[in-house]
Each structure stands twice: as structure tokens, then as C-alpha cells.
């Protein structure tokens, strides 16, 4: 597997575009430099799969996308940022109008499109601006790397950087490519967060198999991210597979399945870590790896508790080697374990530090601890000594800026 440039336009037959249409111009000061409307389109129909928020309160674009992808087919995705169209007046009507406008501009049918929205909740979406913006958006569709980047920028809300990747792998003697763009910064919690992700691939794969695979891979990537404990109303991850790589279609388990699975997992894990590291106001990506557990599920429960803990997150912000907060978090996680068997280490590019052994503190150099925990990426390594299973979950530190951003999010 090789990482390449190009994002969602790297696979054969995919084009993308992003531009400013003024989604928020009706209730905030115009920001013409901010792209807020994006489209990703395949030249041919695709096998399609999707996973969605588990929040009982689902935005109308999510419900419409679930309906459109129920038959495992789609050809494009239309996305806006700035308004989530969730719990909003005329929500379903306006979600359908987005699909209708995308279809009209591309000569397709409304059901050929997944519809994704992100942004403020409870405010009627500026559908007129979107409908006006879609024709020039469709006209701008291109298979260039810049077009993928434009789309990635257009779906950002409080994100500070684009989240884009592409990889290639050989399947059945053919080079298969996967590309992705994603957004996510706050309201992020396991079972997906306020995130959108579009994955494109030219691999030929059965739609039902792709759906099963996506659900499993999401459970091991996006569902292992937590920024603030809130689960959004709009989470959507869509995969479009158009088969233009001309590999023998993947229809079941085997070597080809395994290769594609690992490629999809690599793409989604990359995006998951990008989202965790770009948590609202975040200064550090924090990974908790629990190893030596009796089962992966147990390790996941414990690792999630650590990266979710506000006190652990504050300690990471202050570069404070407060390992007791780690032990506290795994203790209330609900997992059963012997505290006397626990070892905790902090790791980063600056070094590694043992801070807890056999469930008790050990003497360590505070200057070394400060150096290790001042890095941009930190790993909290918890070892249980009870089995061979392990799991990593991702989060970030909790900073002053998180409160600032969410204190005036509506504006």
C-alpha cells in the first residue's frame, strides 16, 4: 500500500469541486473567502455504503442519505458547511432540494446523491444560496488534486486544517486507489462525531460486502475517537466504489478482500487521527493504547475512558504527568481488571517515561516528563499483563480555546 496525493479525485473516474455560495450569509457577516459547498461525483454509477450517527436525533440530510443509499447505489455526494439542517424548519424539504439541484446540474436523479450538511443546528438552511451555487459548482468539477482540496476545505467548520488522503494497493493484478476527505473538530465522540467523510475508490466490490466492511472498519477507527463526549446529529461516512480499476470484483472473503480492508482501514484511521488532533482548540493529539488485555473490546472500553476523561485531557494540556487520572479513568470505565497489574507509560518523539508500575507510582524525572508531554503527539500506554489483546483510541487535550470556540459557536 502506497500513500499518494489527490484525495477523492485520485481514483479513476472521480471529480470534485468546492466553492463559496453563502450558506451563512443570511445570518452572519459574509465570508466570501470561506468555501462552503462541495460536490464529489463519479463518471459512472457506484456501489455505495454508509454509516451514520447513532444519535436518536438525526438531521434530515442523514435520513435522506440513508434512504438514497438503502439499495447500495449512488453516484455522487453534495455537501454544505455552515448549517447542519438539523432540527430545522423545512429540514427534509430542503435536504431534498439539495439533491434535486445536484441532480439537475449533473443530469442524474436525486436518489443518485448522498446529502451531507454540517454546522449550526436549529436554523433553517439558506437553500436558495445553495441552489444558486450548485450549477457553478457542477461546472467546476475536475479530477485535479486541487479540486479535491477545494472540496475538503469547503466542508470545514471549526476545523483548522483539511483532512485528505489517498492510497493505492494492488488487487488481482490491478492498481486500486482509495481517496478520502473528512471534516471534524468538535462534538466528537465514539459512535462517530460531528464529522463527515467521503471515500472514493475505483475498486470493484459488491455493495453489500462493502457495507459490512465499512461498518466494521468504522467501529475500529472513527468510533475510537473522542474530543468532547458529544455525539452529533449529522455524522455520515459514505463510500463510493465505481469499479473502474477493472479488478475482478470482490464478492467475499479472500486475499483481495483482506488487501482492500486494510487499505480502507488505513484511510479511515488516518482521518480519525486527523480529526482527534484537530479537536476544537486542541494543541495535542493524545492516543491511549491499552495492551496486554484479555480482549480487544475490554481494551477499547478502557482506552476510550482515558481519552474521554476531562481531567486527563487537562493534564495533557498542562503537560502534567498526572498518571493517577489515567488509573482513575480505567477504573471507572466498567472494565474488570486487577489494579495491581497495571503499568502506565507516557511516550512521544521526545522519549518515554514509566510513571506507574504494579498499580503504584514510581519515581521519575519531572523535567523529562515535561519534555515528553510537551510534544504535539502523545501516547498514553497502559499495560495490563492479562492477555494479548490491544486497542488504541484517539483524543486531544482540553484547552481554553475549546470553551471560547463553543461559547459563541452560533456567531
| DSSP secondary structure code for residue 326 in this structure | H
Instruction: State the catalytic residue, choosing from 53, 118, 194, 383.
Output: 194
Best CA proximity match to 326, nearest among 348, 293, 359 = 359
Place of cell 462517530: 192
The pairing of beta strand 236-241 with beta strand 37-52: antiparallel
How far apart CA 202 and CA 407 sit, in angstroms, is 43
Beta carbons of 187 and 306 less than 8 angstroms apart = no
Place of cell 432540494: 97
The helix/strand/coil state of 156 is coil
Cell of 72: 447500495
Place of cell 481494551: 299
Best CA proximity match to 380, nearest among 333, 312, 331 = 312
Q: Is 28 a catalytic residue?
A: no
DSSP string covering 211-256: HHHHHHHHHTTGGGB-SSS---S--EEEEEE--TT-PPPB-SSSHH
How far apart CA 170 and CA 239 sit, in angstroms, is 19
- Total Cβ atoms within 10 A of residue 258: 12
Cell of 130: 445553495
Cell of 297: 473490546
Please give the positions annotated as active site.
Answer: 194
Amino acid at each position: 500500500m502506497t500513500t499518494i496525493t489527490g484525495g477523492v479525485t485520485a481514483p479513476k473516474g472521480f471529480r470534485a469541486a468546492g466553492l463559496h455560495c453563502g450558506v451563512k450569509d443570511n445570518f452572519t457577516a459574509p465570508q466570501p473567502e470561506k468555501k462552503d459547498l462541495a460536490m464529489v461525483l463519479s463518471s459512472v454509477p457506484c456501489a455505495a455504503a454508509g454509516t451514520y450517527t447513532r444519535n436518536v436525533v438525526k438531521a434530515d440530510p442523514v435520513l435522506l442519505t440513508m434512504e438514497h443509499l438503502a439499495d447500495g447505489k449512488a453516484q455522487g455526494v453534495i455537501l454544505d458547511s455552515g448549517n447542519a439542517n438539523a432540527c430545522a424548519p423545512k429540514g427534509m424539504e430542503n435536504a431534498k432540494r439539495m439533491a434535486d439541484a445536484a441532480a439537475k446540474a449533473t443530469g442524474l436523479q436525486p436518489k443518485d446523491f448522498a446529502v451531507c450538511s454540517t454546522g449550526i443546528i436549529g436554523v433553517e438552511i439558506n437553500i436558495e444560496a445553495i441552489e444558486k451555487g450548485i450549477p457553478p459548482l457542477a461546472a467546476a468539477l475536475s479530477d485535479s488534486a486541487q479540486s479535491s482540496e477545494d472540496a475538503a476545505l469547503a466542508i470545514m467548520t471549526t476545523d483548522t486544517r483539511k483532512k485528505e488522503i489517498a492510497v493505492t494497493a494492488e488487487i488481482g493484478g490491478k492498481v486500486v486507489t482509495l481517496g478520502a476527505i473528512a471534516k471534524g473538530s468538535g462534538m466528537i465522540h465514539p459512535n462517530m462525531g460531528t464529522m463527515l467523510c467521503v471515500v472514493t475508490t475505483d475498486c470493484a466490490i459488491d455493495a453489500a460486502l462493502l457495507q459490512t466492511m465499512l461498518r466494521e472498519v468504522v467501529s475500529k477507527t472513527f468510533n475510537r475517537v473522542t474530543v468532547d463526549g458529544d455525539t452529533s446529529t449529522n455524522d455520515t461516512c459514505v463510500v463510493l466504489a465505481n469499479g473502474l480499476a477493472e479488478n475482478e470484483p470482490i464478492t467475499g472473503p479472500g486475499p483481495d478482500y483482506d488487501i482492500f480492508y486494510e487499505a480502507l482501514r488505513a484511510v479511515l484511521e488516518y482521518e480519525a487521527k486527523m480529526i482527534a488532533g484537530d479537536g476544537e482548540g486542541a494543541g495535542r493529539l493524545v492516543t491511549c493504547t491499552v495492551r496486554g488485555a484479555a480482549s480487544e473490546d475490554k481494551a477499547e472500553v478502557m482506552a476510550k475512558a482515558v481519552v474521554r476523561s476531562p481531567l486527563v485531557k487537562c493534564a495533557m494540556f498542562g503537560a502534567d504527568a498526572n498518571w493517577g487520572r489515567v488509573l482513575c479513568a480505567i477504573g471507572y470505565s466498567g472494565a474488570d481488571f486487577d489494579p495491581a497489574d497495571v503499568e502506565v507509560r507516557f511516550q512521544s518523539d521526545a522519549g518515554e517515561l514509566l510513571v506507574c508500575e504494579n498499580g503504584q507510582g514510581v519515581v521519575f524525572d519531572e523535567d523529562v516528563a515535561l519534555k515528553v508531554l510537551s510534544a504535539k503527539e502523545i501516547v498514553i500506554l497502559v499495560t495490563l499483563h492479562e492477555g494479548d489483546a490491544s486497542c488504541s483510541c484517539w483524543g486531544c487535550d482540553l484547552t481554553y480555546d475549546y470553551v471560547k470556540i463553543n461559547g459563541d459557536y452560533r456567531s
